[in-house]
Structures are given as C-alpha cells and as structure tokens.
Amino acid sequence: MGREIERKFLVKGEGWREAATRQTRMRQGYLSDGMSRSIRVRLEGNRAAINIKSSRDGIQRLEFEYPVPVEDAVAMLDHVALKPLIEKTRYEVPVGAHLWEVDVFEGANSGLIVAEVELGSVDEAFERPDWAGEEVSHDHRYYNVSLRENPYKNWKE
C-alpha cells in the first residue's frame, strides 16, 4: 500500500533556482472533486499516470499511482477532467539528504510557487533551505485539488 508523507512550504526568493537539477512541465486534471479523496490524471513530460489519494491525516495520506498511455491521458485531460487544469513546471532541488520539488504554477494559479519535501516518516528530520518560507502543509488551499476549485488568481489578501 502506498503512503505519501510530505511537508509543503511557500517559496521565497529565487535562491532555489541555481540548485535545480531538473525541470518537467506538467498538466494535470482531476476526475473527482472534493477533499475526501482525489483522482487525477497527470501528463508529466513524456509519461502519464492516474493517481488516487485519500484525504489527509496530518501530513500523510494513502497514495496509489498507475501508468497510463499518454494518448489516453491527453484525451482524459481534454474531455473528462474537471476544469481548470493544473499547469506547472516542477523543479527538482537536492537539499541535504532529500530531493525537494518546487512547483511554479501557471494559468489560473500563476504567481504561486510551492516547495514540497517527501519524508519516510512523520517525524523524519530534514534540512530546511532558506528559500522555504511559511509552512502550508495543513492549509488545504494549497492542495492541487483545491487550486482547481479555487485558483490562486481568485484569492483575496
């Protein structure tokens, strides 16, 4: 059984960019709505997958992912997925013993930059870089499924 344990932070500044080792453009769409679970299809470079996640229990949740043909993913994104789609570029940034993922959102979520680090356990220690700002792990507004329902461009300060 898959389990995801991650911490999520807003990104401040551009210090992460020089350490980024890889970038991948992503398009993803949700086939379900609501916070109790998410079912999404993601096109990531030249691969595609269906992903199913349970609701969060703190910073962890169940997660299952299965490859699908790219052509099927494109059709699902274009004709089945709820709109708007989530569009972003993901950068991989090694920090200490962990690989951080920095997501630079586009489209309806343009202007939002979030960093995530996946952990092996809820209490695992990790090095927090200076560009990792406010922690938003428990703020549902920053979940990708929520960004589809309430895009960043609609938020009021």
Catalytic residue positions? Answer: 30
CA 154/CA 108 separation, integer angstroms: 8
Residues forming beta bridges with residue 132, ordered by sequence position: 11
CA 81/CA 101 separation, integer angstroms: 24
Report the chain's C-alpha Rg in angstroms. Answer: 15
Whether the ω angle into residue 84 lies within 30 degrees of 0, i.e. cis, is yes
Give phi and psi for 110, each to the nearest 5.
Answer: -55, 140
